[in-house]
Structure 1
């Protein structure tokens, strides 16, 4: 084969991660075959305009994942297909060494393990466990628990309007699959949840970006798009928006809801962070109940590994969404749903959620201290920071410089649905296990911001 050069422009995460992901994707697609030799590290670094160390880290990680094997004196080769693991099961691992990872939004686990131990003991003592291995024998009760959770967010909800999913991301995927067709137009923020772009590409739908301010979507931009683009759906995150941390005011939500109703536009409201703020406006769904699909989950508020989510939708949309969930996974595992339901009912969910708030507030205080003097947007009980860079930095250059200094961050390109990308990066404060490592990472970020402009290479 000719020399392999991956396409990593616009990829999520660091350049090293993008190279590793490209290797895995190209193996899966057949563009890289067993026995193919990858370019020497220096050659690939030169072709991509990166440092050799970045490519070295990428090859090392690809080797660890089992994609490739290095042979001393001969180079790096693709392993046989049957030896390559599918997917990346360790992508979200919390490491205790290596670069400080401020690029991933994984919540902390906290006391959820102790709660799980007690709950599993109660489940065992409750008697017959066969229902937890069957197809939805207790499904109505789990939908009741989901409705209870949503009512705590201010949404009038009944079990009959809820579909259980394996986390909010499956809820989003299933909703888009159910309600969009190839060629349709999907509206979203100029900066949005990064996987949404990949979902849109897989479904063959067009993304139309909406202008934003510090509250999120501008109503005038939404009105103009509804008149000119014939959109089918609007996807947005009104509370603790990813990546900007913006939260829409109640007045803004009312205006967005009125516009959607006037144009018969369906809103897909991602409320995955909705449980975190102690005080927040009502969901968009409360203002446009017949035009809004409200999606949330327990992973951000209770424990990241508890993959239980809830989709609340109008009656006219429920059958299609339910069918899309069945096509993709049939159902949520009853044991997971049972744990989430018990926690919602007995108050454990509220206690774990409060612990997430306290954890976020402590780390946000740290960020405010260490980033003092630099423009950044955050909410005290939110998990991430949107850092606006000095004019001599681009987002890509800063992310690369941070990686070279031992910190992983997400550049604005990862979230952008427009070509004019702001000079900003997202810093996730919840993924790292120790406060000490977060402080170390933020200290490095602050040092990069404080360094004189002529100390930086601006064309990375």
Structure 2
């Protein structure tokens, strides 16, 4: 088929989509129907749709067909914090806060200014952090059920930096890492940037399908598994104890690194021991204070097996050299005086209150969440489309995320994630009323 004919068909579809002649949600002919109608080879018809999908104009959905996408939806919805317009209620991104945190910061800065150690913050810090500050974080980890030596703790510039450091230190471009079929978008961005191959693990009601992971490890050279066993983002489940044991057994059998993301684990009441407690020889535990304290306090931490510390430390040196001393000093002082524990308890109660509000206002809808989490996963009816619902909510001044940023598999479910922790309770209530109304209108 001449290239001009192929390109003209792509251009015709694109023009019809952009003009609105093919509105969002339109089901296009099957590949075979297109080939028959246009007298094309089947492989050429598939190329037409593949190019339209690469342009962001259509999406192919396994078992359903090819649909026109809602092109007015920001393509980064859910991956990056959007610029929130005046009057927009942000249910797309979590930055939870409780009253009085600004006063806590004022007091901390005054105390730091009066300390005899102030001048040391003007100099470079050790790459992994000062030992007494690493010891503070090690004591903090005891409250999460993880016992490590101070020398196994490395201080980083937020949990996202901790993930980046871990992936860079442990894996090489082209290597395979397994992750849940729905997972944290920031991990996906890192894996793509570092040229890692992410293979999806199918999901069950209580966590990843570990039988599928076992089969995957027998058929592929998987080097690591990325997991969020406590307060999974976006589904909110807590992996049961027997599942944790099974994951550790698979990792030991196939010599996998385990990367445990615990960014939201502090919200769980009486949590199970971390994976790092069960498999300390192969698990890197990554977390920080962005959610438990403040998103502006870019201090995170990595707890790693002793034999991996040197490689992680070299990667910190290559990326940021060291975490800013002032922020680290504030975070560690708040650990030592109990402020972090108090804020975690307040935010746990805050998340529970927001979930209770959602239970009342979303009654009648099917959704998935943990009663102490800051997010809700809202699967949509079979004939509803997430991109159209997200755009309809934007018109109602409510920003939400679709499932696309979270999906590691080809199949992207039609669902939206609601982040509950970024607005006051009155605004949240009004937004949830709109969510129920708009979702109901599409089902």
TM class by smaller structure: 0.7 to 0.9
Among 118, 138, 145, the residue aligned to 1:129: 118
The answer to whether the 8 A contact 1:147-1:158 is kept is yes
| Residues 45-102 of structure 1, C-alpha deviations (whole Å, 9 max, x = no match) | x9786789x48x99xxxxxxxxxxxxxxxxxxxxxxxxxxxxx9xx56776x432211
Alpha-carbon offset, residue 141 of structure 1: 1.1
Equivalent positions of 1:189-338 (< 5 A) are 189-338=180-329
Equivalent residue, structure 1, for 2:384: 393
**TM-score for both structures, normalised by structure 1:** 0.77
Of the three residues 421, 430, 446, the one matched with 2:412 is 421
Q: Distance in 2 between matches of 1:399 and 1:439?
A: 18
SS in structure 2 of the partner of residue 377 of structure 1: coil
| 1:126–1:387 distance in 2 versus 1, CA, 3 Å | same
How many residues align structurally?
Answer: 377
Single out whichever of 383-392 and 393-402 deviates more from structure 2: 393-402
Q: Which residue of 1 aligns with 2:109?
A: 120
Superposition RMSD in Å: 2.4
**Offset of residue 392 of structure 1:** 2.1
SS at match of 1:390: coil
SS in 2 for 1:425: strand
Q: Answer whether contact 1:374 1:388 (CA < 8 A) is retained.
A: no
User: Which one is further off, 129-138 or 290-299?
Assistant: 129-138
Mark the runs of 5 or more structure 1 residues left unpaired by the alignment. Answer: 6-14, 16-45, 59-87, 454-460
Answer yes or no: is the 8 Å Cα contact 1:111–1:352 preserved in 2.
no
Specify the alignment match of 2:426 in structure 1: 436
Task: Summarize the alignment of residues 61-210 of structure 1 with structure 2, pairs less than 5 Å apart.
Answer: 91=81, 97-136=86-125, 139-210=130-201
Name whichever of 337-346 and 242-251 sits farther off: 242-251
Contact 1:94 1:431 in 2 (8 A): no
1:284 to partner: Cα distance:
0.6
The range that moved more, 129-138 or 170-179, is: 129-138
The equivalent residue for 1:350 is 341
- The 5-angstrom pairing of residues 445-460 of structure 1 reads 445-451=435-441, 453=443
Distance 1:230 1:270, change over 3 A: same
Match of 1:66 in 2: none
> In structure 2, what is the equivalent of residue 10 of structure 1?
none
Q: Which runs of 5+ in 2 are unaligned?
A: 1-10, 15-23, 25-55, 59-67
